[in-house]
Amino acid sequence: MAAVGGFDPSGVDGGIADRFEDGVGACEFGAYAKHKGRLIKKLRYDEFEGKWREFLEVAKAYNEIMTRGDTINDVLVKILRERCDEFLLERTV
């Protein structure tokens, strides 16, 4: 899959565990912490799995839209930004 704003979502979990520890610090699963002015929840695996799958699907759709030069839906951008925040990825859209 092509990169979404410089992020290649081909890894199993995109290194979220390491990014969370580095960016937010240690906290329990299900707890909230601040990162770059946003409140981020450290997702449990069952929460993470569905949201990660959704992120991959939205990222794929975004890449296809950008490749074709189509008009992008604001909802798609909103979801992509929310997931980038949750996974501590740099927002580029």
- Count: domains in the chain: 1
- Other beta carbons within 10 angstroms of residue 86's beta carbon come to 21
Note the pLDDT of residue 32: 92
Q: Let me know if residue 32 belongs to a domain.
A: yes
Q: Let me know if residue 4 belongs to a domain.
A: no
Note the pLDDT of residue 7: 47
Note the pLDDT of residue 50: 86
Interaxial angle between packed helices 74-86 and 45-68, expressed in degrees from 0 to 180 and rounded to the nearest 10: 140
Task: Decide: pTM greater than 0.95.
Answer: no
Q: Let me know if residue 92 belongs to a domain.
A: no
Q: Let me know if residue 9 belongs to a domain.
A: no
Q: Let me know if residue 8 belongs to a domain.
A: no
Domain residues for the domain of 82 are 16-86
User: What sign does the dihedral 21-82-79-91 (CA atoms) show?
Assistant: negative
Q: Let me know if residue 37 belongs to a domain.
A: yes
pLDDT in tens, the chain (93 residues): 445 544 444 454 667 778 888 888 888 889 999 988 889 898 888 888 888 888 888 888 888 888 888 888 888 889 889 988 888 888 877
Separation in Å, CA 80 to CA 4, 5, 7, 36, 89: 9, 11, 12, 17, 10
Q: Let me know if residue 78 belongs to a domain.
A: yes
Q: Let me know if residue 24 belongs to a domain.
A: yes
